[in-house]
A and B are shown apart, each in its own frame.
Chain A
Amino acid sequence: DVKVTQSSRYLVKRTGEKVFLECVQDMDHENMFWYRQDPGLGLRLIYFSYDVKMKEKGDIPEGYSVSREKKERFSLILESASTNQTSMYLCASSSQRGPQHFGDGTRLSIL
């Protein structure tokens, strides 16, 4: 079974902090994704990556950056956290033609 592991289930940070969310997958998938999930808005794509060191902006990249130095790891970075970034963050991975597999999610609160 594919396993996608997110480093934290719950995280509390302060406004202005730099925040790192880590995601690791164990199935050698080419593609990795970061979403945020808010009630009534579904999943919104922040960034995705289709190869090491490659990244593409999704629908809401502002205030975020990503890093993919190794194939199995995809990091989401909040450069200067703000309260409107309080949300559930989901990481996913997929092969070229397969479905996405998701991690457990990180519930991030910015105070």
Chain B
Amino acid sequence: AQTVTQSQPEMSVQEAETVTLSCTYDTSESDYYLFWYKQPPSRQMILVIRQEAYKQQNATENRFSVNFQKAAKSFSLKISDSQLGDAAMYFCAYRSPLTGNQFYFGTGTSLTVIP
């Protein structure tokens, strides 16, 4: 099975600053999907951003962007102009088109935003 590693259990950032959350994964596949999910204290997991492995361009959604390094199997999330509402647990996830239906999650990074 694919493994997804988030090596930072906790991170903190000053409001309005930029923070990068790291994620690495292990796979032998060339085509796959990667996701970042956010889980605020209210608990519902919501999708932040997605990246298809065949696309070389890094995905961007407003203040959220990724640095996708396919050869290094790295998929970091950058949050710019951090806001108090960004405080949450962030999970990196991998999906293989071959196994089709399974998602593999990292253990999460808890982000604190300091006013």
Q: Which residues of A contact B (CB under 8 A)?
A: 31, 33, 40-43, 45, 48, 50, 56, 58, 88, 90, 92, 94, 96-97, 99-105
7 additional A-B pairs beyond A92-B103, A94-B101, A102-B44, beta carbons within 8 Å, are A31-B101, A33-B103, A92-B45, A99-B33, A100-B93, A102-B46, A105-B43
* Contact A99 to B35, CB < 8 A, known contacts A41-B107, A42-B107, A104-B43: yes
Hey, what's the 0/1 contact readout for B31-48 against A, CB within 8 Å counting as 1? 001010100000111110
Q: Which residues of B contact A43 (CB under 8 A)?
A: 91, 105
Separation of A50 and B46 alpha carbons in the complex (Å): 21
Q: What is the count of residue pairs linking A and B with beta-carbon distances less than 8 angstroms?
A: 50
Main secondary structure of the interface of A (DSSP, over half): strand
Nearest residue in B to A106 (C-beta to C-beta)?
A: B43
Interface residues of B (CB under 8 A from A): 9, 33, 35, 37, 43-47, 50, 91, 93, 95, 97, 100-103, 105-108
Are A97 and B33 neighbours in the complex by a CB distance under 8 Å?
A: yes
Residue pair A99, B107 in contact (C-beta under 8 Å): no
For the complex, give the distance between the alpha carbons of A31 and B97 in Å. Answer: 13
CB distance A90 to B45 under 8 Å? yes
Q: Which 5 residue pairs of A and B lie closest in terms of their CB atoms, listed nearest first?
A: A42-B107, A102-B45, A43-B105, A50-B101, A105-B43
